[in-house]
Chain A
Amino acid sequence: MKTKSADAAIADTRRLFPKPQNLSDAYGPPSNFLEIDVGNPETVGVGRSRFTTYEIRLKTNLPIFKLKESCVRRRYSDFEWLRSELERESKVVVPPLPGKALIRQLPFRGDDGIFDDSFIEERRQGLELFLNKVAGHPLAQNERCLHMFLQEEAVDKNYTPSKIRQA
């Protein structure tokens, strides 16, 4: 950089010289691709042992995720488990889940309670919001529980909490 004379009346505001950018970096896919969709709700079981599962589809190019594409099914209590694990294990301020809707579980309702279509849709949206917030958090991405929740067939609640380290 040129040195400026000590008494310059007008400051030098020319841009600093930028490093040239690699064209494949400029036009290639971004390194921050992460998409999570929560959809396809399905109510399984009969009578009082019914529950709803949601499909979680993940697509990413982040190296921290073992699978670049994954699809698993989870129920609301699995989300609650994930949230409490993250709160305990990490320093992340974990966003809230959509409501537990205990009132909807009481008998003698006019509608379908927690199996009501509009309620399921509302809950689905809240769960999608929650997962996107959490999965994109650099600190949450280090937690074993998050990866197990998102990409493994089943959630093993007896797992040993640990941090993921990149190779």
Chain B
Amino acid sequence: MLSSLLHLHVGAVMSFFSFGQSAEIDIVLNDAETKKKVEHKTEDGKKDKYFLFYDGETVSGKVNVTLKNPGKRLEHQGIKIEFIGQIELYYDRGNHHEFVSLVKDLARPGELTQSQTFDFEFTHVEKPYESYTGQNVKLRYFLRATISRRLNDISKEMDIVVHTLSTYPELNSSIKMEVGIEDCLHIEFEYNKSKYHLKDVIVGKIYFLLVRIKIKHMEIDIIKRETTGTGPNVYHENDTIAKYEIMDGAPVRGESIPIRLFLAGYEMTPTMRDINKKFSVRYYLNLVLIDEEERRYFKQQEITLWRKGDIVRKSMSHQAAIASQRFEGSSNNEKAVAQNKEDSN
């Protein structure tokens, strides 16, 4: 009976009875003292701090293996460390889509007689996408050190956060459009750019050409749309990140209402398009007019958000400085460009 218990609950029973030897793993980065940490949301909504990396930066450090029972030996089938970048869809937890998978062997199968430290270095690791924790999908990067054993492995994970940086786009035309309801409401809206960085300001105006309804107020909402799945199983999750009233009262023909919306105050990510063909995160400006009878008239327009690199500070590691200069090309093609009527000259 004892043997069947062991068979079913190997891990727990073994450590409870101190069968054999066990160990604790600790992963420590080489520049842990100086490396910048950023806040990142976890799946349950809490915020934690993680080390920040950029594309191309080397990830190096030490794996400390500490034996729990100092006298006994630890037999193992090999010790390794992996650097993994993966996408996890919440409705399909079993399948992790790994887009980066690097491994370094730290020790061949054998035994450890005492606690030991192993150095590792993943040189100039490609990190093509930004870390993202969303409503239905998560993209994360982590280090995982594993001691392989016959019955149960011992492993430790350490998450890191990756930001993708871009430079000022060469082409950044304004968005200008005339929309309305025939004979009832005609407006012309204009936003100064189509691509905004995360600490940018949206400057624009709404010009009223025809007002035959009784408008009570007007607001601009920022909507984040997370799209997961493909083909017939596409799912959009919309989240209104911001609501900003820009007009209170009834406008008349010829009136211009200014818009000045500071983005730094809102928690947003860069626009992510078709990441590894698994998900997208896009942002839309929704201009909403509400009339006296609470009827809503709205016009949605996509904007591209991008992350600007911070000014290089002395405390930033040399490698991070180089990495932050390896900019991703600014977004090309989008619909926003095609919808423009005006040059920004």
Interface residues in chain A, defined as those with a beta carbon under 8 Å from any beta carbon in chain B: 1, 3, 6-7, 11-16, 18-19, 21-22, 25-26, 28, 30-32, 34, 62-64, 132-133, 136-138, 141, 166
Identify which of A16, A22, A31 contacts B211 (C-beta below 8 A): A31
Q: How large is the interface on B (under 10, 10 to 19, 20 to 34, 35 or more residues)?
A: 35 or more
Binds A, one of B24-32, B150-158, B253-261, B273-281: B253-261
In the assembled complex, the Cα of A22 lies from the Cα of B182 at a distance in Å of: 22
* B205/A15 in contact, CB under 8 A: yes
* B207/A136 in contact, CB under 8 A: no
B344 cross-chain contacts in A, Cβ below 8 A:
1, 3
* B204/A16 in contact, CB under 8 A: yes
Whether B5 is near chain A, meaning CB under 8 Å from some CB there, is: no
* B211/A136 in contact, CB under 8 A: no
* A26/B203 in contact, CB under 8 A: no
Chain A minimum-CB-distance residue to B252:
A30
Given A16-B205, A32-B212, A62-B212, A26 and B258 touching (CB < 8 A)? no
Given A1-B344, A13-B203, A132-B293, A138 and B254 touching (CB < 8 A)? no
A30 cross-chain contacts in B, Cβ below 8 A:
211, 250, 252
* A138/B184 in contact, CB under 8 A: yes
* A25/B253 in contact, CB under 8 A: yes
Given A18-B207, A22-B254, A137-B293, A31 and B212 touching (CB < 8 A)? yes
* A6/B168 in contact, CB under 8 A: yes
Given A11-B201, A16-B190, A138 and B256 touching (CB < 8 A)? no
A21 cross-chain contacts in B, Cβ below 8 A:
254-256
Chain B minimum-CB-distance residue to A136:
B293
Main secondary structure of the interface of A (DSSP, over half): loop
Identify which of B203, B207, B211 contacts A32 (C-beta below 8 A): B211
Identify which of A13, A28, A138 contacts B213 (C-beta below 8 A): A138
In the assembled complex, the Cα of A137 lies from the Cα of B212 at a distance in Å of: 11
Q: List 18 A-B contacts (CB under 8 A).
A: A1-B345, A3-B344, A3-B345, A6-B167, A11-B201, A13-B201, A13-B260, A14-B203, A15-B258, A16-B204, A18-B205, A18-B207, A18-B256, A28-B252, A30-B250, A63-B183, A137-B293, A138-B213
B205 cross-chain contacts in A, Cβ below 8 A:
15-16, 18
Given A136-B291, A136-B292, A138-B184, A31 and B210 touching (CB < 8 A)? yes
In the assembled complex, the Cα of A145 lies from the Cα of B182 at a distance in Å of: 20
Nearest-Cβ distance from residue A36 to partner chain B, whole angstroms:
12
* A19/B207 in contact, CB under 8 A: yes
In the assembled complex, the Cα of A129 lies from the Cα of B192 at a distance in Å of: 41
In the assembled complex, the Cα of A147 lies from the Cα of B227 at a distance in Å of: 45
In the assembled complex, the Cα of A7 lies from the Cα of B312 at a distance in Å of: 13
B181 cross-chain contacts in A, Cβ below 8 A:
138
Nearest-Cβ distance from residue A162 to partner chain B, whole angstroms:
17
Whether B200 is near chain A, meaning CB under 8 Å from some CB there, is: yes
Whether B144 is near chain A, meaning CB under 8 Å from some CB there, is: no
In the assembled complex, the Cα of A15 lies from the Cα of B260 at a distance in Å of: 8
Given A21-B255, A26-B254, A136 and B203 touching (CB < 8 A)? no
Nearest-Cβ distance from residue A10 to partner chain B, whole angstroms:
9
Chain B minimum-CB-distance residue to A11:
B201
Chain B minimum-CB-distance residue to A21:
B254
Nearest-Cβ distance from residue A66 to partner chain B, whole angstroms:
14
Within 8 A of A (CB), among B274-302: 291-293, 295
A22 cross-chain contacts in B, Cβ below 8 A:
253-254
Nearest-Cβ distance from residue B330 to partner chain A, whole angstroms:
11
* B256/A25 in contact, CB under 8 A: no
Ranked 8 nearest A-B pairs via Cβ: A18-B256, A21-B254, A25-B254, A138-B184, A6-B168, A25-B253, A11-B201, A16-B205
Interface centre among B253, B258, B292 (most CB of A within 10 A): B253
Extra contacts, 9 of them, besides A15-B258, A28-B252, A32-B250 (Cβ < 8 A), are: A13-B201, A16-B190, A16-B204, A19-B207, A26-B255, A32-B211, A136-B213, A137-B295, A166-B183
